[in-house]
Amino acid sequence: MAFNLGIHDVDDYGLAFHETKVVTVGPAMAGPLGKQTPDSGENSVQETGVRNAAYGADKFGFTGLKGVNWNLTEPKLYEHALLNGEANIVAGGALCAETGHHTGRSPKDKHTVEDDLTRDSVWWDGNRKMSKENFDNLLADFQAHCKGKSLFAQDLVGGADPTHCIKVRVFTELAWHSLFIRQLLIRPERAALAGFVPEMTIVDLPSFKPDAKRHGGREGSDTMVAIDFTRKIVLICGSSYAGEMKKSVFTTLNFYLPAKNVVPMHCSANVSKDGKESALFFGLSGTGKTTLSADPNRILIGDDETGWGEAGIFNFEGGCYAKTVKLSKENEPMIWDATNRFGSVLENVVFDPDTRVPDYDDISKTENTRSAYPLDFIPNASRTGRAPNPKNIIFLTADAFGVMPPVAKLTPEQAMYHFLSGYTAKVAGTEKGLVGVQPEFSTCFGSPFLPRHPSVYADLLKEYINKHQVDVWLVNSGWTGGIYGVGRRMPIKATRTLVTAALNGSLKNADFRTDPYFGFAVPTSVPGVEPHLLNPFKTWKDKAAFDKTARELVGMFQKNFEKYEKHVSPDIRAAAPEVKIAAE
């Protein structure tokens, strides 16, 4: 199957060149736009767009639909979203929508079907169980809820490596959701749609409210994300937050790929312009994965989800999902340009009602404002989504305590310890009910998306790091000079300088000191970076407070890692932070 990593069937003026047909649900027929054609039942279904005539909505069990809009491109989806009152066009041309009371993912409402496939393979300490009966009830109620509705459908691909990809069909009731997922996943060439047969199906119905008893969800919750790995079906309801769709594909790949000796990773990736030296950037939302991987001097592979197999690394997606809080052209020019143009989707961004100019500094709706755009909106993005094995790995953390250095070199054992620890800070708005910034240990830098035990991913990553002799760095893009609320955010220019030095090899030649609290190697000086930033102890006015805070964080690391100790070797356990002196 031919892939299209962001090459659009749209000209510079937003005029579409896509084909529009009326097709039956069943035997292939084509007619003029607007003509209704009968399905196998008593109802007629209005269908537009292009699809596999032999594999329609009836294959999923839908009956009595009013219509299906297949694989519509940007202009048509804009038209539907505007006519339905779903969104607004803002200055620059982006489509801006609101997600309602869910301004982030709702991980407590994510459920996985327990059956013969998953009973002994899913990490149930990190995943909520759901019975097959409850899922069947939810599926039947979804199908009934859709009767009389017009849906939007996109046929897409997750995974830029043809040997490890999954073909995904996404049904949505909102046009802007259809545009969102079209921009985020990989779009097959239009000619390939005629033979597209999905391996996975997602249905996203924000208007459907689950029943806790009948569907097995949380009592009092109006939201559910239900995953059946055996049938490869994901049902999302009660939330308009579009990010649930893309993360459902990621979760599914996380379940299936380890068996193929591919490690799925919550990380961004880029590669040198000569295509020889790639790098991975691990980190949760708000740590800088998207910002730091969008380097004008390197080729962007992807900003969020990556696989690493025998043939190298590959992007899972065909687009980017960037945080826009305090977005500026000066600090992030490529993301700014990609965000402020036709075809991009903005979530919960405040704009002037008269001029329609977005205000990225306004966080009155949420701090988790977002922009979704295809990879080709980034000028130096890869058109293949693939690259050779990495030379460097960056673990990003937004240290809310302000005691970790801005960069550190990790031994292989420390790399595994910190990968399993996944220390960072939860940033307001990325999950429902979260306010401010809170410290968080998210194993593998992606705990909510791991169907299998963390050790499965850690063992694979360790194998590849050792095999390819990869250098691993820990980069703190969080706070310095004090705890969150007292100190300041690490200067982005300093972080970029340190990352650049790591990737070009010059940082390996620096003089290093051993951090007395965490035990890893920290450079004593780096050209272009203020020397005191490299030693966080020196940035704090209250030295005793620093020592107390650092000791507390070391204790948190040690306590958190207790649950992994039986799964790792003694050398990894020995890589734990341990205070050597009271203070420097």
Neighbours of 140 (CB within 10 A): 12
Q: Closest Cα partner for 495 from 471, 520, 474?
A: 474
Q: Which residues pair with 407 in a beta bridge?
A: 475
Q: Which tokens in the block code for residue 566?
A: 């039986």
Q: Residue 283: exposed, middle, or buried by beta-carbon count in 10 A (0-12, 13-18, 19+)?
A: buried
Q: Choose, from 24, 240, 290, 455, the residue flagged as catalytic.
A: 290
CB distance 373 to 302 below 8 Å:
no
**Catalytic residue list contains 370:** yes
Q: How far apart are CA 37 and CA 67, in angstroms?
A: 10
* Through-space distance between the first and last CA atoms of the chain, rounded to whole angstroms: 59
To 10 degrees, the CA torsion angle through 269, 427, 446, 421?
Answer: 100
β-bridge partners, 438: 426
554 contact partners, CB below 8 Å, separation of at least 6: 517, 518, 577, 578, 579
- Among 267, 552, 574, CA closest to 422: 267
399 is catalytic: no
Q: Which of 178, 285, 424, 430 is catalytic?
A: 285
Q: Which residue in the list 76, 80, 266, 452 is annotated as catalytic?
A: 266
CA angle 561/562/568 to nearest 5° reads 75
Q: What is the DSSP string of 229-297?
A: TTTTEEEEES---THHHHHHHHHHHHHHGGGGT-EEESEEEEEETTS--EEEEE--TTSSHHHHH--TT
Identity of the residue numbered 197 = V
Q: Are 409 and 521 in contact (CB under 8 A)?
A: yes
AA letter at 305: E
304 is catalytic: yes
Query: Using CA atoms, how far apart are residues 168 and 41, in angstroms rounded to an integer?
Result: 26
Those residues with Cβ within 8 angstroms of residue 304's Cβ, 6 or more apart along the chain or in another chain: 246, 250, 266, 267, 268, 289, 290, 316, 317, 320, 321
430-433 contacts, C-beta under 8 A, 24 or more apart: 430/104, 430/105, 430/284, 430/285, 430/286, 430/368, 431/104, 431/105, 431/106, 431/107, 432/101, 432/102, 432/103, 432/104, 432/105, 432/106
Q: Does the annotation mark 455 as catalytic?
A: no
Annotation says 112 is catalytic? no
Among candidate residues 169, 215, 247, 386, the one labeled active-site is: 247
**Is 110 a catalytic site residue?**
no
Euclidean distance between CA atoms 56 and 148, whole angstroms: 16
**In the block, which residue shows the tokens 């019975």?**
131
Produce one character per residue of 59-72: b if its CB has 16 or more CB atoms within 10 Å, e if not.
Answer: ebebbebebbbbbb
Write down the catalytic residue from 304, 399, 515, 547: 304
Residue length of the chain: 584
Catalytic residue among 8, 169, 289, 418: 289
Residue ranges of alpha helices (H) inside 23-172 are 74-83, 132-145
Strand-by-strand arrangement of the 128-130 sheet = 37-38, 44-49, 67-70, 150-158, 166-172, 200-205, 233-237, 224-228, 110-113, 128-130
Residues with catalytic roles: 105, 247, 266, 285, 289-290, 304, 370
